[in-house]
Chains A and B, each alone.
Chain A
Amino acid sequence: MPGPGGTLRDFLARRREGLLLVLLVALSLLIISRQVRDPGGMTYFRKAVIAVTTPFQSGFRAVTGGISRVWNGYVFLFGVRTENRRLREEVGRLRSEVQELREELFRAGRLEEFAAYRSETGFEGIAGRVIGESPDPWTRTVVVNLGSSDGVQRGMPVVTPAGLVGRVVEVAGRSCVVRLIVDRSSRVPVLVSRSRARAVLEGENSGTCQLKYLDRTEDVAEGDTVITSGLAGIFPRGVEVGTITQVIKRNHGLYQYAKLLPKAPLGRLEDVLILELQGGQEPEL
Chain B
Amino acid sequence: MRLVYFLILGGAALFAQSTVIPFLLPYWLVSGMDLPLIVVVHVALTRGKVHGMMAGAALGYLQDAMSGGVIGINGLAKIVGGFSGGYLREKFFVSSIAHRAGSVAGAVLFSVLSKVVVLSLFAQPRPGLLSPLLLWTFMGNALLALASHSLLVRLEGRAGIRREEELSLGD
Contacts and interface: CB of A to CB of B under 8 A. Distances in A.
B19 A46 contact: no
A66 to B, nearest CB: 13
A184 interface: yes
Given A17-B50, A133-B19, A185-B124, A206 B31 contact: yes
Residue of A25, A28, A35 with most partner-chain B CB within 10 A: A28
A35 B72 contact: yes
A60 interface: yes
Contact of A179 (B31, B65, B68): B68
Interface stretch (B1-9, B74-82, B92-100): B74-82
The dominant DSSP class at the B interface is: helix
B79 A32 contact: no
A183 B47 CA distance: 35
Contacts of B31: 137, 205-206
B33 A137 contact: yes
Contacts, number: 143
Interface string A1-45: 000000000000000110011001100110111011001001001
A183 to B, nearest CB: 8
Nearest to B59: A135
Contacts of A42: 65, 71
Given A24-B53, A42-B71, A134 B30 contact: no
Contacts of A57: 15, 18-19
Instruction: Bin the interface of chain A by size.
Output: 35 or more
A17 B83 contact: yes
Interface in A72-103: none
A50 B65 contact: yes
A46 B76 contact: no
Given A28-B75, A29-B72, A60-B19, A141 B27 contact: no
Instruction: Bin the interface of chain B by size.
Output: 35 or more
Interface stretch (B101-109, B125-133, B145-153, B161-169): B125-133
Contact of B67 (A20, A141, A202, A205): A141
B18 A177 contact: no
Interface in B28-78: 30-36, 49-50, 53, 57, 61-76
Contacts of A207: 27
A169 interface: yes
A132 interface: yes
Interface in A247-262: none
A16 B67 CA distance: 32
Interface in A50-71: 50, 53, 56-57, 60-61, 64
A32 B72 contact: yes
20 contacts: A28-B75, A31-B72, A32-B118, A32-B122, A45-B71, A49-B62, A49-B66, A53-B18, A60-B20, A134-B18, A135-B14, A135-B36, A138-B126, A139-B67, A139-B69, A170-B68, A177-B67, A179-B68, A205-B127, A205-B133
Interface of B: 14-15, 17-20, 22-23, 27, 30-36, 49-50, 53, 57, 61-76, 79-80, 83, 86, 115, 118, 122-127, 133, 137
